[in-house]
Protein backbone atom coordinates (compact mmCIF):
# COMPACT_ATOMS: atom_id res chain seq x y z
CA UNK A 1 0.00 0.00 0.00
CA UNK A 2 2.87 2.34 0.81
CA UNK A 3 4.41 1.76 -2.65
CA UNK A 4 1.08 2.54 -4.32
CA UNK A 5 0.78 5.81 -2.38
CA UNK A 6 4.31 6.81 -3.34
CA UNK A 7 3.64 6.06 -7.04
CA UNK A 8 0.44 8.11 -6.92
CA UNK A 9 2.27 11.02 -5.25
CA UNK A 10 4.86 10.93 -8.03
CA UNK A 11 2.57 10.32 -11.01
CA UNK A 12 -0.09 12.96 -10.30
CA UNK A 13 2.33 15.95 -10.26
CA UNK A 14 4.16 14.59 -13.34
CA UNK A 15 0.85 14.23 -15.18
CA UNK A 16 -0.28 17.74 -14.20
CA UNK A 17 3.12 19.19 -15.21
CA UNK A 18 2.97 17.34 -18.52
CA UNK A 19 -0.51 18.74 -19.33
CA UNK A 20 0.54 22.25 -18.31
CA UNK A 21 3.66 21.95 -20.50
CA UNK A 22 1.50 20.73 -23.42
CA UNK A 23 -0.88 23.68 -23.00
CA UNK A 24 2.05 26.13 -22.85
CA UNK A 25 3.57 24.64 -26.02
CA UNK A 26 0.22 24.80 -27.82
CA UNK A 27 -0.18 28.44 -26.84
CA UNK A 28 3.33 29.26 -28.09
CA UNK A 29 2.77 27.45 -31.41
CA UNK A 30 -0.60 29.16 -31.82
CA UNK A 31 1.16 32.50 -31.56
CA UNK A 32 4.04 31.50 -33.86
CA UNK A 33 1.73 30.21 -36.59
CA UNK A 34 -0.55 33.26 -36.46
CA UNK A 35 2.45 35.60 -36.64
CA UNK A 36 3.86 33.63 -39.56
CA UNK A 37 0.59 33.83 -41.52
CA UNK A 38 0.35 37.53 -40.67
CA UNK A 39 3.78 38.02 -42.26
CA UNK A 40 2.34 36.61 -45.48
CA UNK A 41 -0.67 38.94 -45.31
CA UNK A 42 1.75 41.83 -44.84
CA UNK A 43 3.88 40.74 -47.81
CA UNK A 44 6.96 39.91 -45.70
CA UNK A 45 8.11 36.80 -47.57
CA UNK A 46 11.47 36.31 -45.84
CA UNK A 47 9.88 36.52 -42.38
CA UNK A 48 7.16 34.11 -43.56
CA UNK A 49 9.73 31.55 -44.74
CA UNK A 50 11.95 31.91 -41.64
CA UNK A 51 9.73 29.59 -39.59
CA UNK A 52 10.23 26.68 -41.99
CA UNK A 53 12.90 24.09 -41.24
CA UNK A 54 15.69 23.49 -43.75
CA UNK A 55 14.52 19.86 -43.48
CA UNK A 56 10.94 20.78 -44.44
CA UNK A 57 8.91 18.13 -46.27
CA UNK A 58 6.10 19.27 -48.56
CA UNK A 59 3.44 16.65 -47.85
CA UNK A 60 1.67 17.67 -51.06
CA UNK A 61 4.71 16.57 -53.05
CA UNK A 62 6.30 19.92 -53.90
CA UNK A 63 7.56 20.88 -57.33
CA UNK A 64 9.31 17.57 -57.96
CA UNK A 65 6.56 15.41 -56.47
CA UNK A 66 8.95 13.87 -53.94
CA UNK A 67 8.29 16.12 -50.93
CA UNK A 68 11.47 18.17 -51.23
CA UNK A 69 11.15 21.92 -50.84
CA UNK A 70 13.00 24.31 -53.11
CA UNK A 71 12.98 27.50 -51.04
CA UNK A 72 14.27 29.66 -53.91
CA UNK A 73 11.40 28.59 -56.18
CA UNK A 74 8.98 28.93 -53.28
CA UNK A 75 10.20 32.47 -52.61
CA UNK A 76 9.79 33.37 -56.30
CA UNK A 77 6.27 31.93 -56.29
CA UNK A 78 5.40 33.99 -53.20
CA UNK A 79 6.85 37.13 -54.79
CA UNK A 80 4.57 36.59 -57.81
CA UNK A 81 1.62 36.04 -55.47
CA UNK A 82 2.35 39.30 -53.63
CA UNK A 83 2.42 41.14 -56.98
CA UNK A 84 -0.93 39.66 -58.05
CA UNK A 85 -4.50 40.91 -57.86
CA UNK A 86 -5.27 37.90 -55.68
CA UNK A 87 -2.91 39.19 -52.98
CA UNK A 88 -4.77 42.50 -52.86
CA UNK A 89 -7.66 40.57 -51.26
CA UNK A 90 -5.56 39.67 -48.20
CA UNK A 91 -2.97 42.44 -48.11
CA UNK A 92 -2.78 43.99 -44.65
CA UNK A 93 -5.71 41.93 -43.34
CA UNK A 94 -5.56 40.12 -40.03
CA UNK A 95 -5.40 36.34 -39.93
CA UNK A 96 -8.98 36.05 -38.69
CA UNK A 97 -10.18 37.83 -41.83
CA UNK A 98 -8.41 35.30 -44.07
CA UNK A 99 -8.57 32.00 -42.15
CA UNK A 100 -11.19 30.51 -39.86
CA UNK A 101 -9.32 30.77 -36.54
CA UNK A 102 -12.39 29.58 -34.65
CA UNK A 103 -11.96 26.14 -36.26
CA UNK A 104 -8.22 26.00 -35.65
CA UNK A 105 -6.76 22.66 -34.57
CA UNK A 106 -3.66 22.27 -32.45
CA UNK A 107 -2.85 18.63 -31.78
CA UNK A 108 0.13 17.11 -30.02
CA UNK A 109 1.68 13.89 -31.32
CA UNK A 110 -0.71 11.57 -29.44
CA UNK A 111 -3.80 13.57 -30.40
CA UNK A 112 -2.67 13.64 -34.02
CA UNK A 113 -2.13 9.87 -34.14
CA UNK A 114 -5.50 9.26 -32.49
CA UNK A 115 -7.41 11.63 -34.80
CA UNK A 116 -5.49 11.38 -38.09
CA UNK A 117 -3.31 8.29 -37.75
CA UNK A 118 0.43 8.00 -38.25
CA UNK A 119 1.76 10.48 -40.77
CA UNK A 120 4.43 8.95 -43.00
CA UNK A 121 4.93 10.58 -46.36
CA UNK A 122 8.05 10.96 -48.48
CA UNK A 123 10.96 11.43 -46.05
CA UNK A 124 8.69 12.67 -43.24
CA UNK A 125 7.69 10.61 -40.22
CA UNK A 126 5.59 12.13 -37.42
CA UNK A 127 7.54 11.85 -34.15
CA UNK A 128 6.75 12.17 -30.47
CA UNK A 129 6.97 15.87 -29.58
CA UNK A 130 5.56 17.05 -32.93
CA UNK A 131 2.47 19.29 -33.07
CA UNK A 132 0.03 19.66 -35.96
CA UNK A 133 -1.64 23.04 -36.46
CA UNK A 134 -4.31 23.75 -39.03
CA UNK A 135 -6.62 26.57 -40.01
CA UNK A 136 -9.40 26.11 -42.54
CA UNK A 137 -9.90 28.88 -45.08
CA UNK A 138 -12.63 31.45 -44.73
CA UNK A 139 -15.17 31.48 -47.53
CA UNK A 140 -13.96 33.65 -50.40
CA UNK A 141 -10.36 33.80 -49.16
CA UNK A 142 -7.59 33.45 -51.77
CA UNK A 143 -5.94 31.07 -49.29
CA UNK A 144 -8.50 28.51 -50.39
CA UNK A 145 -6.62 25.51 -48.97
CA UNK A 146 -6.33 27.09 -45.55
CA UNK A 147 -3.04 26.47 -43.76
CA UNK A 148 -1.48 23.57 -41.91
CA UNK A 149 1.94 22.74 -40.62
CA UNK A 150 3.65 20.26 -38.35
CA UNK A 151 6.01 21.84 -35.83
CA UNK A 152 9.07 20.17 -34.35
CA UNK A 153 11.54 21.55 -31.81
CA UNK A 154 14.96 21.49 -33.48
CA UNK A 155 18.20 23.23 -32.60
CA UNK A 156 16.53 25.25 -29.83
CA UNK A 157 13.64 26.57 -31.94
CA UNK A 158 10.20 25.49 -33.06
CA UNK A 159 10.19 25.04 -36.83
CA UNK A 160 7.63 23.89 -39.35
CA UNK A 161 9.04 20.52 -40.41
CA UNK A 162 6.19 19.47 -42.73
CA UNK A 163 3.02 20.82 -44.28
CA UNK A 164 1.28 21.55 -47.54
pLDDT digits (tens, 9 = 90+) for 146-158: 889 999 999 999 9
pLDDT digits (tens, 9 = 90+) for 42-69: 999 999 999 999 999 999 898 888 999 9
Q: What pLDDT shows up at residue 4?
A: 42
Q: List the domains of the chain with CATH numbers.
A: 2-163 (3.10.450)
Q: What pLDDT shows up at residue 14?
A: 39
Render the chain in DSSP notation, one character per residue: -HHHHHHHHHHHHHHHHHHHHHHHHHHHHHHHHHHHHHHHHTT-HHHHHHTEEEEEEETT-TTTTSS---HHHHHHHHHHHHTSHHHHTTTT--HHHHB-GGG-EEEEHHHHHHHH---EETTEE--TT-EEEEEPBPTT-S-TT-EEEEEEEETTEEEEEEE-
Amino acid sequence: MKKLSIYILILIPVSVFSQKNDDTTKSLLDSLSKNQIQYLCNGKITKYLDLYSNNYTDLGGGLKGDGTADFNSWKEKLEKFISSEEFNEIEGKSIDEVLDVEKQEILNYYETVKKKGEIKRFSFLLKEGDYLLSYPSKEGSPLSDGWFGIFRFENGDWKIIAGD
